Structure 1
Amino acid sequence: MQIVVVDSSRVVLQIIASLIEPRGHAVHAFTDSAQALQYLSATPSVRVLITSVEVRPLCGLELCWSARLLAEERRPLHVITMSSARNVRSLAEALDSGADDFIEKPPSAEELNARLRAAERLITLQEELIRLAETDPLTGSYNRRAFFDRARIAAEQDARPGRISAILADIDHFKRINDEHGHDVGDVAIKAVAELIAGEGIGGRLGGEEFGIVLPGCSLAEATDRAERLRERVQALRIRGSKHAIGLTCSFGVSTWIQGDDVHALIKRADIALYAAKSGGRNRVVPYQGDAGLAVAS
């Protein structure tokens, strides 16, 4: 596991590293709690934070609370506090500040590694629960809620006009596939399209036969080109039907970020463009360029 350890004493940091590194853990040691928090924010792969209560400039309890807020972003993070003063009040304050465990400083090798094994079991369970909560069970891609969460985070990082775009895709005549070949074949079609979507940006299944993609750093023209390439790849697919191999197509709507936008508005405009692609004959890409531009399809 990736583990961050914070203590004002370099000697304590060296002792703790020597206790847990031989077990295969990667230790990132800090004497400055603010720097440790920065590293935690920038490194989602960290799974455990071990911090002394007596650190600066953020005290250990403040660091616990800040780390717990990070973990609320659907991220497993086990927080262990250390203190040379082990008493009921210290323990209660640590747990109330977001810590998951409390150990005496300096810890023994047996106790520390036992607690890390317990942490690993809990983290594995958390990761599985997060996966189940975020994953569409048929395709393994993001479900609707996770898709919008990831899109929102991407927008917060670089939400400038023309710097983030969205694509909505819908399988054409999907009901006909189900009616003529059965729902099992329909599921195969959905999974085949999902595999293509998975290679593009932040992709997810929004429901039924509809998919969404958010493309950070991508203009409307670039997103339209990528949607066109996806359209061609879908058209080239052949899946096993009830009687023979069948082909399928998708329609695509594309939009880009504008001033004062939010993710839901971005997706709504792509949905309007998708409707225009459907009503305009299907198996086509329509970029949203205002109501007057919806008739232009590629």
Structure 2
Amino acid sequence: MVFDWEMPGMDGVEVCRNLRARHSDRPAYVILLTGRSSKDDVVAGLDAGANDYLGKPFDPDELRARVQVGRRFVELYDELLETQRALEVQARTDALTQMMNRRAVLARLREEMGGNGAGESALCIAILDIDHFKQVNDEHGHVTGDAVLCEVARRSEAGVRPGDVVGRFGGEEFLVLMPGASADEARAVLEGVRRRIEATPIEYDNHPVHVTASLGGTSAIPGEAEDEILVRADEALYRAKALGRNRVEMAA
């Protein structure tokens, strides 16, 4: 953008200040034209938010060159912004399954629990663990094991309600968040996920692999810490394993 210092209604310096006061992911590149040449005026213009300063009378070729510099600046800024956004997504995404990673899903849990005060909506969570996953890796190899993880992730996400969240918790475990769900509603959702996982073998490289999953769920208690609800879900998962696997257990 090119502004003249002297403009009717609002001068170029005031326009710069207003532009910089707006919060934008893509700030404008501003060249300020003026017949003023004192150091104080130059400083005032730059302090107001101008990126460049050109005295009048100006050479049109010089102005074009400075506009080109501004265009390159904006292009580089856009590239930097794009890279930053990609890195932010990467930091929240599990590289294998392309779902939320542990850090992201725990951050989401903290957000949900922050609104779980007295009188607020219910929240249920569950930890899902693929049964005998080590055996899958030992018998079929880690490449097949990775394919199993990806398919279990897909089936889990397909089995939950709109608004529910599934993230990879670590290894062969996934964390399921069900905002607004009662314990009975959560059990029904988790049973649906469990059935989806066991329903058909997972095919990879012409090798069908039949897997099941155990799930331990619990309801959030208003005011409790993140670790407390995770411990209860883990205890329910342990009980599901102890009772024969391929089942859903809810903490009391």
- TM (normalized to structure 1)? 0.61
Q: 1:121 to 1:175 in 2, by over 3 A?
A: same
1:224–1:87 CA distance, 2 compared to 1 (3 A): farther
Deviation string 1:58-92 (CA, Å, 9 cap, x unpaired) is x94xx76xx9xxxxxxxxx4566989898558867
Question: What are structure 2's unaligned runs of at least 5 residues?
Answer: 1-8, 33-39, 53-62
Point out where structure 1 has 5 or more consecutive residues left out of the alignment: 1-10, 13-50, 68-76, 95-101, 290-298
Q: Equivalent residue for 1:137?
A: 95
1:251 — aligned with what? 214
Query: Letter of the aligned partner of 1:156 in structure 2?
Result: G
Distance in 1 (CA, whole Å) between partners of 2:28 and 2:219 is 43
Counterparts of residues 22-33 of structure 1 (less than 5 Å): none
Return the offset for 1:124: 0.8
Larger Rg: 2
Structure 1: which amino acid aligns with 2:130? I
Give me the identity figure in percent.
32
Alignment equivalent of 1:122, drawn from 52, 75, 80: 80
CA RMSD of the aligned region, Å? 3.7
Q: What is the CA deviation profile of residues 5-54 of structure 1, one whole-angstrom value per residue up to 9, with x for unaligned ones?
A: xxxxxx98xxxxxxxxxxxxxxxxxxxxxxxxxxxxxxxxxxxxxx9645
1:1-298 matches, within 5 Å, as 53=17, 60=21, 77=25, 102-103=49-50, 116-160=74-118, 163-199=122-158, 200=160, 201-240=164-203, 244-289=207-252
Bigger RCO (CA 8 Å, 6+ sep)? 2
Higher mean C-alpha deviation, range 143-152 or range 198-207: 198-207
Q: 1:82 to 1:159 in 2, by over 3 A?
A: farther
Q: Structure 1 pair 166/218, CA: closer, same or farther in 2 (3 Å)?
A: same
TM-score by length of 2: 0.71
Give the drift of 1:239. Answer: 1.6
Is the contact between residue 181 and residue 241 of structure 1 (CA under 8 Å) also seen in structure 2?
no
Q: Alpha carbons of 1:89 and 1:234: their partners in 2 closer, same or farther (altered >3 Å)?
A: farther
Structure 1 distance, partners of 2:169, 2:186, is 19
CA–CA separation in structure 2 for the residues paired with 1:205 and 1:270? 15
User: Residues 87-112 of structure 1: CA distance to partner in whole angstroms, max 9, x if unpaired?
Assistant: 558867x9xxxxxxx4369xx9x587
Native 8 Å contact 2:197 2:213 kept in 1: yes
Structure 1 residues 196 and 89: CA distance shift in structure 2, 3 A: farther
Cα distance in 1 for residues equivalent to 2:117 and 2:71? 43
